Amino acid sequence: MAPYAHLAVYKVCFGLDWPESDILTGLDVAVADGADVISISIGEQNMPFFQDNIAIASFAAIQKGIFVSCATGNSGPFNGTATNIAPWVLTIGASTTDRKIKATKKLGNNKEFDGESLFQPKGSPSSTLLPLVYAVKFNEYSSVVVSAGYDRSLRAWDCRSHSTEPIRIIDTFLDSVMSICLTKTEIIAGSVDGTVRTFDIRNDGTFERSRKRGITVFSDYAWSSGDQVDVWVQDSWHEAIVMDTNKIDLTSLTVQFPAQSKASIVRSWHVRPTLVWKDDK
């Protein structure tokens, strides 16, 4: 199949001992060695992707253009027994399903060959890419469902409607939203940017409050004087210009708002790169 391929084997399991640190190290070394394909024959109990070390490491490999294939495990056939089910890896396993998804390839000489594929051609209804969802919650009456996504947003749908469009989108987060809690009047969401935010459903999603986690959170950006940024103040984003950075406290920035003559000190987790400036407002 590939006579000039180089095969590299990384041992990360020793008997019944499978240290997560060894698994991560093996994947990191494979990436550093320039592997084009990584095959992982290890499966752990299913857990959220942000806690799954194989899912995290394989996602980093995929971002570098490396193909990752994982074993689906030896359990089953029962519901929920497949492992390594992250959508960015190819999960391989035996199946008792006696069916195939037929795909026909027609060549230039009009000869046709049947195969199997889940690929959807460009322009088909199923070819639209959707955001990766980390958490989903229904309200008490299951009439509204809210999803938290990798695209830094919360989306709410009316389950009583036939529309596929969300009734509300909240996209004021600085990073991916990992967890949500839905009460009768509030949406409580935790983000990778280090904040837990509360939104009042009755006020059209108006921002209520934000609190920092118990650990120090640093911004993903290295701000410099003169940078145009958006700063979260009370209930909305406001445009500002970075005047100075604190060399001791990296989470502190001095900014000036166009409508004010004096400078203000803000925290970096309340700052994002500016999106739209219109007439200095």
Residue 252 in this model has a pLDDT that exceeds 50 = yes
pLDDT digits (tens, 9 = 90+) for 53-63: 889 889 989 98
For residues 251 and 182, give the distance between their C-alpha atoms in angstroms, rounded to a whole number.
30
pLDDT of residue 232: 79
Residue 187 three-state SS: strand
Q: In whole angstroms, how far apart are CA 5 and each of 47, 95, 128? A: 34, 29, 35
Asked whether the beta carbons of 131 and 138 are under 8 A apart, the reply is: no
Cβ atoms within 10 Å of 165's Cβ, excluding its own:
9
Per-residue pLDDT, 215: 30
Q: Which pLDDT value is given to residue 212?
A: 39
Residues 6+ apart with CB under 8 A from 98: none
pLDDT in tens, 87-142: 899 888 877 666 777 778 788 888 888 877 766 666 655 556 667 888 888 877 77
Q: Which residues contact 217 (CB under 8 A, 6 or more apart)?
A: 193, 194, 195, 251, 269
pLDDT at 74: 79
What's the rounded Cα separation, in Å, for the pair 155 and 165?
9
pLDDT band at 68 (very low <50, low <70, confident <90, very high): very high
The rounded mean pLDDT for the chain is 78
- Per residue in 164-182, pLDDT (tens digit) is 888 888 888 888 888 888 8
Q: pLDDT tens for residues 197-245?
A: 888 766 554 444 444 333 333 344 567 788 888 887 776 778 888 888 8
Short-list 39, 139, 151, 19, CA closest to 90: 39
Which of 25-29, 81-85, 164-168, 271-275 reaches the highest mean pLDDT? 25-29
pLDDT level of residue 67 (50, 70, 90 thresholds): very high
More confident call, 89 vs 248? 89
Across the beta sheet with 144-149, what order do the strands follow? 133-138, 144-149, 154-158, 168-170
| Phi and psi, residue 198, nearest 5° | -120, 130
